[in-house]
Structure 1
Amino acid sequence: MNKVMTYRAHFRAIAVLGLPLVGGHLAQFAIGLTDTIMLGWYGIEALAAVTLASSFYFVLFLFGGGFGLAVMPMVATAAAEEDETSIRRSTRMGVWLSLLYAVLVMPLLWWSHPILIAAGQDPQVAETASQYLRVAGWGLFPALVVMVLKSYLAALERTQIVLWITVTAAVVNALTNYALIFGNWGAPELGVMGAAIASVVTQMVSLIAVVIYAVRVLPEHNLFQRFWRPDWEMLYSVLRLGIPIGFTLLAEVSLFAMSAFMMGWIGPVPLAAHGIALNLASATFMVHLGLSNAATIRAGNALGRKDRPHLEKGARAVTVMSLLVSVLTIILFVTCAEPLISIFVEPADPQRPQILAIGTGLLAMAALFQLVDGAQVIALGLLRGLQDAKVPMVMAGLSYWVVGIPASYYFGFIQGMEGIGIWLGLVLGLACAAVLLMARFWTRSVQTVGVPAE
């Protein structure tokens, strides 16, 4: 019989597990934020180009990240069952699939220019963005492997090391950006290309650190011993879970990527304002994402122990924690919009007043979608912990593509609301996902976990 935990114990356990993951996500986010701030200081055109390039890159990265996220619940469940062999097998095949995926999509990053032009982007912005992607794209290989290994460590509740590796990477990124974008400390002034090089350097540092830790601290798993040997059964298991997770991520990130494309149709200044507002909204989303990862791990453990009461109490606790974060974020965005946006724009920039005006309106919309954005990512985390991914994939696709993107276009262009209308579409898509995914978890998925005998 499993010990029944109180809600206070659940809150404490989620915080101990989740806060380092939140910190890790914030540190990872700081890498992109550093690029945005420094490129904003370098020039609005450079910021617009990297905003566009980053949207394109993360569409591909997050789809491939489905394999890393699939490893997390598989390792968590195997750990609860004390199955050391499955821990090794699932992690290793997650790395295999991630590397194979990077090989397949690298041509899209290398030849991104015609894709961006076909998407209706400004020719100069598209040219700069494609140059950035030709360099930054090589970072996809280490980035995806790092995602698998971080998921492996997090599932084993070694979240502190995940935090510190990511913090180290953020520091490396900031220093390299400062040197190569502006030409400081005797380095050449490379602008956008400097940011691209810094991105690759950062991912390689992360990879080296996480591999050293896994090999030295967890030698019993032998992750890289006879690494070249295929394990077709486990590869298929990771693939079967990772593909729908990847498509779910793709659907969501594509919603935001399409919003960036639509803002680009309006002009470079609205696109730059969109990039700033999205970065601020993404910072708070990292908190929800860390809680979602904790939910995945604890749901995976509950699945391994067949402990439904533990699952249900933990799900309620993590949902309440996410709700509290959303309320605090709404207050922050409504009361401090202009000071937050001002961080990203050089005081002497002649386009600063226009950026502030557009960005303030967009941040008000970002405050609106905090509740639904947090709810949908928590629901996804719980569902992934139970390895329920196919139906949530369909729900997410319908929400983001059938509701969100058409609504963004309708309100942004047909109704003439421009940037505000585009973000209203984001709110509607995320709200639809939150309702469907939460309903899926509570009415069906949670019922699949057995109740232990009294």
Structure 2
Amino acid sequence: MTALGLAAPAARGRAPFHRPWALELRATLALSAPLVLTNLAQHAVITADVVMLGRIGAEALAAATLATGLYFILFIGGLGLTSAVAPLVAGALGRDGTAGDEARRTVRAGFWAATLAAGPLMLALWHTRTLLDLIGEPPALAMAAGTYMRALQWAMWPALLFMVLKGALAALGRPGWPLAASLAALPVNVVLAVWLAFDRPGCLGLGPVGVGIATSVSAFVMLAILCGVILRDPHLRRHRLLHRVWRFDPVRLGAIFRLGLPMAATGLAEAGLFEAAVLGMGLFGASQLAAHAVAIQVAAFCFMVPNGVAQAATVRVGLARGAGDRHRLRLAGRAALGLALAFMSLCALVQLTLPENLIALFLDLGAARNAPVLPYAVGFLSLAALFAVADGVQSVALGMLRGLQDTRVPMLIAVGGYWGVGVPVGAALAWGAGLQGYGIWLGFCAGLFVVAGLLLARWRRLARA
């Protein structure tokens, strides 16, 4: 077995033509499985928050959806910087098989980048109510969203630091530890949220603010657990990832920014499309906004799988690039794309055939206050099924290109596809054609299909070059 996890064609009676692809698929599965589960565990925190907010009421859910949308669009900007850690460490491993000082310097620079980004992002989130008032959201929703954000925003800094370590550990072959930390933090979030938010005997009854506090606490718990593991795990201790983490390394920080800023812009372009949808949906009333919150949570939960596969693809392609092995590089891309296509096709089928079962996970369908939400949620889920496959493809294609450390052209593709196609189409259908929320979701579909196609074309050209 080579450092890339791919053996040369050998015995056991199998044809050499089939063996490398099968081994690459197995290696991609082995790496992506814990990354997918980590994404799902982290998203489970968000999903649990949505479930609890839905139990508080549709108004609370609608307000928190506005706040959470703003939080995540800014978080994704910081995440773009931290995502540069994985391809840089993987490339170093592919070149010499050890990474050594490279991994430590990259993690240190990633911590600096996360910290430098977190300050202004949290400052912006502090003024959520003002921002929502300026764009014309209903005053009651803007006030409730701003109050919720004052509790949620404190999760930003530890969450970004966690993502730095998650990327480094994936490249170093230890993706299971971030999963363990995420699973440990999940019950902390749920128990705290129930105790702080609900108005029941023995609970504090803080409402949505209690949910936000619980989410922030769980982010610090995840980071603390992962740091503890890095200091104690024998394999990780030799890399000394947290050694003198406060030292400033301008050269490596520059590398993080050169690779990470286009990634941040790409993420912001996509997240901005979805946030624009949330803000636009709020103008159509609380029922459509609450229905959108449910549908987007289902779609986002499904997306965690191709997102994890994309993270694995970044590492696998990065290792092959560092080793200068173009054949294995192409195999890594094919394996990741195949996994994403298969899973997202299954998700689309479930969304089309069992929409009410999925909606019941988030809303009490027997409650009269939720009756206006149900038909919109069913319709939005049907449209979410249309772009599920394209969403998976664009995510994995981005991951593969990041493994090649190609980030600038994908950034232009994302900006052009989402904002040059998705937003105008969605606006024209929602307001011009009078389709309201349905038009916004059709805009999603248009933008995602364009971006997925162009990213695949970019990958094919670079992988053959």
Tell me which interval the TM-score lies in, with the shorter structure as reference length.
over 0.9
Task: Give the equivalent residue in structure 2 for 1:452.
Answer: none
Deviations 1:88-138 (A, max 9, x none): 111110010101111122211111111111122111111111111112111
Shift of 1:185: 6.9
- 1:3 is aligned, of 5, 8, 22, to 8
1:133 to 121, 132, 149: 149
2:180 equivalent among 156, 164, 167:
164
Counterparts of 1:385 and 1:172 in 2: how far apart (Å)?
Answer: 34
**Which residue number in structure 2 is paired with residue 446 of structure 1?**
463
Q: Shift of residue 447 of structure 1? A: 4.1
**Cα distance in 2 for residues equivalent to 1:389 and 1:41:** 41
Matches within 5 A, 1:32-431: 32-80=46-94, 81=96, 82-183=98-199, 186-217=202-233, 218-431=236-449
Matched residues in 1 for 2:420 and 2:77: separation?
Answer: 19
User: For the Cα contact (< 8 Å) 1:50–1:132, is it kept in 2?
Assistant: yes
Query: What is the identity, as a one-letter code, of the residue corresponding to 2:51?
Result: I
* 1:190-229 residue CA offsets vs partner (Å, 9 max, x unmatched): 1110011001111010010011111222222223322232
Counterpart contact for 2:32–2:309, Cα < 8 Å: yes
CA shift digits 1:131-166 (9 cap, x unpaired)? 111121111111110110111111112111121111
Rounded Cα–Cα distance in structure 2 between residues aligned with 1:113 and 1:64? 21
Match of 1:6, SS?
helix
3-state DSSP class of the match of 1:377? helix
SS at match of 1:37: helix
Structure 1 residue 184: Cα displacement: 5.2
How far apart are the structure 2 equivalents of 1:15 and 1:313?
A: 13
**One-letter code aligned to 2:137:** Q
User: Secondary structure at the residue paired with 2:84?
Assistant: helix
Q: Distance in 1 between matches of 2:201 and 2:143?
A: 28
- Normalized against structure 2, the TM-score is what? 0.94
Amino acid at match of 1:216: R
Kindly provide the amino acid, as one letter, of the partner of residue 143 in structure 1. A
Distance 2:385 2:359 in 1: 14
Contact map agreement 1:45 1:268 (CA 8 A) in 2: yes
CA RMSD of aligned residues (A): 1.4
Deviation (angstroms), 1:249:
0.5
SS at match of 2:222: helix
Q: Which moved more, 1:241-250 or 1:159-168?
A: 159-168
Aligned AA (1:290):
G
Q: Which ranges of structure 2 fall in alignment gaps of 5 or more residues? A: 10-18
Distance between the aligned counterparts of 1:174 and 1:184, measured in 2? Answer: 15
- Counterpart residue type for residue 17 of structure 1: L
How many residue pairs get aligned? The number is 447
- Separation of aligned partners in 2, 1:169 and 1:132: 20
Equivalent residue of 1:266, what SS? Answer: coil
One-letter amino acid of the counterpart of residue 463, structure 2: V
Q: Which TM-score applies when normalising by structure 1?
A: 0.96
The Cα of 1:421 is off from its aligned counterpart by 0.8
Deviating 4+ runs (over 6 angstroms): none
Matched residues in 2 for 1:417 and 1:407: separation? 12
Deviates more, 1:45-54 or 1:166-175: 166-175
**SS of residue in 1 equivalent to 2:268:** helix
Deviation at 1:34, TM superposition (A): 0.4
| Higher relative contact order, structure no. (Cα contacts within 8 Å, ≥ 6 residues apart) | 1
Q: Are 1:372 and 1:431, in contact at CA under 8 Å, matched by a contact in 2?
A: yes
Query: Percent same amino acid among aligned pairs?
Result: 39
- The one-character-per-residue Cα deviations of 1:379-411 (angstroms, maximum 9, x if unpaired) are 000001111001110110001111111111111
Measure the CA separation in 2 of the matches of 1:91 and 1:3: 33
**Shift of the alpha carbon at 1:171?**
1.9
Pick closer, same or farther for the CA change 1:140–1:185 going to 2, 3 Å. Answer: farther
How far apart in 2 are the matches of 1:252 and 1:86? 31
Contact 2:104 2:243 survives alignment (8 Å): no
Q: Does the 8 Å CA contact 1:67/1:239 hold for their aligned counterparts? A: yes
CA distance in 2, matches of 1:277, 1:24: 21
- Structure 1 unpaired stretches of 5+: 449-454
Partner AA of 1:369 in structure 2: F
Q: Which amino acid aligns with 2:105?
A: R
Q: Is contact 1:69-1:148 (8 Å) kept?
A: yes
Deviations, residues 23-77 of structure 1 (Å, cap 9, x unaligned): 1111111111001111101111000011110100001101001122100111111
